[in-house]
Amino acid sequence: MTTEKTLLTRIVHALGFEFFAVLLCAPTIALVMGKPLMSAGLLTLAISVTATLWNMLYNVLFDRLQLRMGFKRTPWVRIAHALGFEGGLILAVVPAAAWWLSIGLVEAFLMEVGLLVFLLPYTYLYNLGFDRLLERRRGKVGKLVCG
CA angle at 12 for the pair 8 and 17, rounded to the nearest 5°: 150
Residue 61 vs residues 49, 51, 64, 83, 93: alpha-carbon distances, Å: 18, 15, 5, 15, 20
Average pLDDT of span 27-45: 94
Is the confidence at residue 132, as pLDDT, over 70? yes
Q: Are 139 and 145 in contact (CB under 8 A)?
A: no
Tens of pLDDT along 109-125?
999 999 989 988 999 89
pTM: predicted TM-score of the whole model, two decimal places: 0.77
- What pLDDT score does 22 carry? 95
Mean of all residue pLDDT scores within the chain:
89
Backbone φ and ψ for 146, nearest 5 degrees, come out as: -85, -30
- What pLDDT score does 141 carry? 57
